Structure 1
Amino acid sequence: MSASSDWITVGALAEGFAPDAFILPRLADLAGQRIELNFANGWRIEQRFDAETTQWRAADGHSAGSAPYRATSVRPGIVLVDFTKHEDGQAWSISLVLDSHNQAFTAVIGRLPDAADCAQGLYARALAGGELTGVQVQILHGSLDRPWQDGACPHAATQELVGLRNRYRYSPSEVYEHIYLNDHFYTWQCLHGVEAGLCDTDRCHTYKIAEQLYLFVWREKIVPTLGLVMIDLQQHRSDGKIFGYAGADFDALSNFPVSSYCDLLNRTVYQ
């Protein structure tokens, strides 16, 4: 058990989560498929899949590549695709929520701060009027295999999690609690596991994908971390990933899956 000051790297967190983790099986449905992502901002990207690898090519020719991917589904017709890409000396986290019911998608594009950015410190960030976390994220919407039109993607920012206190069991040994405070922040604490005794309040983003199904994204400020999960309150399941530096030297990345059985502890209604 960690003392309250024992912060660990994302690589160490991945090792702690791994034994007997409640990971959802990989979805094989995308193998052999080609999809076209038509973003609301005008981007057009062709994405192809085989059993292990995805390939992408932008219509303007400025971006192309391939990477191993993981695809999962907590709700029929909704697929989460996750991979990392490396371009122009930068590593990017790419997560796609593919919604076949609405022929729509939401993309989460994340980037970690470098060593110099992390060395800036929270106090300097606060005095400069910036965000306390150096983890950057873009959340973009679009249509699948059809031209974009306004309103084509129904995924929208939501307050429906605000006031909920949820418990997440990622494995027999790793248990966390989330308290969703408002549109922009949530509080987490580790009840059992390698981070037991640790807690913080971090920046978050919540989107409603379908009834009682949410895309939840968070950005941590102490150890630079991008987390992303699909939370299904009907099935009491969550699935996603955690992305960060594997060690303290900023040389290697860790991008590992997390899945949980989750339950509602209580709900606070704010007047």
Structure 2
Amino acid sequence: MTTQPEWINVGALADGFAPEAFTLPNLADLAGKVFTLHFANGWRIEHRFEAEQLAWSMADGSARGESPYRATSVREGLYLVDFLKQDDGREISVSLVLDIANAAFTAVLGRMPTEAECRGDLFGKALSGGELTSVKADFLHGSIDRAWREGACPHAPSRDLVGLRNLYRYSPTEVYEHLYLNEHFYSWQCLKGVEQGLADTDRCHTLKIADELYLFVWREKIIPTLGVVLIDLKHHRSDGKICGYASGDFGQLSNFPVSSHCSVLNRTEYPQ
């Protein structure tokens, strides 16, 4: 009888990924720049970038804040900006895909569940017709420095990854496999690393950003976890972050960068 692999919290996962991680550099390209994001839902939010801090403010004066941020780029003219902000006393994960060439953006707003929301059993959630994961993610689109008009953001849901089996090497010690099942779910397993032997099928979302470049977001149900990455199939790289509670007390968040060298193992072609 083999030993059952143990689930770990996101803080322990971050510690496992850290040594010799293949993370992309935190760029200073945006320092000194100011962008006003015009959301399709009517929001207008100004973002002022300094070397390490990002200050944001709603155009109507209803809210403002300042946070440290990480900015990376897997393609020229595209930036992934990630930070945490306070909202009614809780931290919200914010990931922005800034598409400078198209003056467009996609924002992913992630919210971790409370302890009470996590305690519900999966069977009960399934019977009630709800999602099995308690992690929430909202996807918002808009224009950069110009008024929003319909169709201004080219980022769109995609099934291009369906059938792909990909290998992701995040460090010399952390290796994962992903199998993209359909537009709603993917399966993962840890081949090497602190989660070795663990596997699951979780809720996911895929948006095509550019040719062979995809925004992939997943929401795990066992350990509440949000993943946001850009997958560049042309250059065999991925970059983004993983966010979740640092420990089991549902207190501090761990929001750490993940980048990989990735490759396609095979593609399954399904009969029509």
Q: Residues of 1 paired with 2:215 and 2:75: CA distance?
A: 12
1:3 shift after superposition: 5.0
Letter in 1 for 2:141: H
Letter in 1 for 2:65: G
Letter in 2 for 1:85: K
Show CA shifts across 1:87-140 (max 9, x none): 211110000000011100000000000000111121221121100000001011
Structure 2 partner of 1:260 = 260
> Aligned with 1:14: secondary structure?
helix
Q: Residues of 2 paired with 1:143 and 1:4: CA distance?
A: 48
Q: Residues of 2 paired with 1:86 and 1:31: CA distance?
A: 22
Q: Residues of 2 paired with 1:3 and 1:44: CA distance?
A: 53
CA contact 1:204–1:219 (8 Å) conserved in 2: yes
- How many equivalent pairs are there? 270
Structure 2 partner of 1:132 = 132
> Aligned with 1:123: secondary structure?
helix
CA contact 2:5–2:195 (8 Å) conserved in 1: no
> Aligned with 1:12: secondary structure?
helix
Show CA shifts across 1:223-245 (max 9, x none): 00000100000100000000000
Structure 1 residue ranges (4+ consecutive) displaced by more than 2 angstroms after TM superposition: 2-5
Structure 1 partner of 2:146 = 146
Q: Percent identity?
A: 66
Show CA shifts across 1:229-271 (max 9, x none): 0000010000000000000001111000000000000000112
Q: How does 1:1-271 map to 2 (within 5 A)?
A: 3-271=3-271
Show CA shifts across 1:59-97 (max 9, x none): 122220000000000011110000001121111000000
1:194 shift after superposition: 0.2
Q: Which runs of 5+ in 1 are unaligned?
A: none
Change (3 A) 1:31 1:123: same
TM-score normalised per structure 1: 0.98
Q: Residues of 2 paired with 1:13 and 1:129: CA distance?
A: 31
Show CA shifts across 1:197-244 (max 9, x none): 000000000000000000000000000000010000010000000000
Q: Which runs of 5+ in 2 are unaligned?
A: none
Q: Residues of 1 paired with 2:122 and 2:84: CA distance?
A: 27
Q: Residues of 1 paired with 2:19 and 2:149: CA distance?
A: 45
Q: Residues of 2 paired with 1:131 and 1:61: CA distance?
A: 35
Show CA shifts across 1:157-206 (max 9, x none): 00000000000000000000000000100000000000000000000000
